[in-house]
Structures are given as C-alpha cells and as structure tokens.
C-alpha cells in the first residue's frame, strides 16, 4: 500500500512538473510582445519575492492589471519566485536589517512612515519584507531584460531546436502531456 502511495506522489509531481513546463512554453509562444511578457514576468517576480499580504503586493497587483502586460507571465513569475524566495530569506533578512537599523539617517523616515495611517500595512518594519522589496527592486531590470531576451531567442530559433530533442518528442507525444 505504501509503495502505491509513493508511486502516486511521484506521478503527481511529474504531472505537475509537465504542466508547469507546458504553461511556461505557452507563455513563451503567446501572441503578446516580448516586452509584455517580460513586463508581466518582472512585476510577478516582485510579488513572488515579497511576503504576500502587504500593501506593496496589492499595489503591484493593481499595476499588473492596469498595464498591458501578460498576466500568464506574471502568474508564472509569482509561482517561480515564491518557491525560490524562501532560499533567499536569510540574505534578504540581512539586507532588510541593515537598511532598517544600520543606516542612522533613515531612522526618522521609518518612524514617520510607520506613523502614517497606511504605514503599518506595508509591513516595512519586518526585515524580510524590507529586504525582499529592495531585492526585488534591484532584480527588476535584470529580470525584465533577461526575460525579454529569452522570449526573443526562443521565438527566433530556440523553439525549433528544443522541439528536436528526443526527450521533448517523447514527452509531447505521451498521453499525460496531451
């Protein structure tokens, strides 16, 4: 019985992985421009790096819906970066701790911000929130331009090369994929 459960868990993980790859490929092939896909991915990466229930996340969600960016790319980035964010939490904690406590000239700013009516909703006084927000801002441009280059490269020839791989042919021909 335990063997069946273990096999089922591995099968579900494999199917989840295939669905994830399928969605990523659909995003790359989407009719949206590379800039729209990259913009959605970069904005999604900001949300994915931060703890979710903050005012910043709500504002970025509104920006995603107001701008003409690819929502699938944003969703995919939220998924990818939220799984990777916990690995970066110790580094982001140190960054946030330094910004909140190590820079004396900003102490009055943090106090004034916290005393504003919406200030506590930002949760900026949490070192991980502050560090992940700043880390996301630093990574925003590299993520945007990197994703834009990846989409262009994929559409210009990388897609054809990947389709020729034997493993891709096996997976796309399987009933699980379809």
Q: What is the pLDDT of residue 110?
A: 86
Q: What is the pLDDT of residue 14?
A: 67
State pTM to two decimals.
0.77
**DSSP H or E segment with residue 19:** helix 2-29
Q: What is the pLDDT of residue 70?
A: 86
In order along its 178 residues, the chain shows pLDDT tens digits of 556 666 666 666 666 666 767 777 777 776 778 899 999 999 999 999 888 788 888 999 999 999 988 888 888 888 888 888 888 888 999 999 999 888 889 888 888 888 888 888 888 888 899 999 999 999 999 999 999 998 888 888 777 777 777 776 776 676 655 5
**CB proximity list for 110: less than 8 A, separation 6 or greater:** 100, 124, 125
């Amino acid at each position: 019985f335990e063997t069946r459960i273990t096999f089922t868990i591995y099968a579900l993980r494999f199917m989840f992985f295939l669905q994830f790859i399928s969605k990523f490929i659909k995003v790359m092939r989407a009719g949206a421009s590379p800039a729209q896909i990259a913009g959605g991915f970069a904005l999604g990466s900001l949300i994915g790096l931060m703890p979710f229930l903050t005012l910043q996340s709500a504002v970025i969600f509104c920006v995603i819906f107001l701008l003409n960016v690819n929502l699938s790319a944003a969703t995919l980035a939220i998924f990818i970066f939220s799984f990777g964010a916990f690995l970066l939490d110790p580094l982001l904690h140190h960054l946030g701790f330094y910004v909140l406590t190590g820079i004396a000239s900003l102490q009055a700013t943090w106090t004034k911000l916290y005393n504003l009516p919406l200030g506590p909703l930002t949760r900026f006084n949490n070192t991980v929130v502050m560090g992940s927000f700043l880390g996301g801002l630093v990574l925003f441009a590299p993520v945007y331009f990197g994703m834009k280059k990846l989409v262009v490269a994929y559409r210009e020839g990388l897609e054809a090369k990947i389709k020729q791989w034997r493993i891709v042919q096996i997976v796309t021909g399987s009933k699980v994929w379809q």
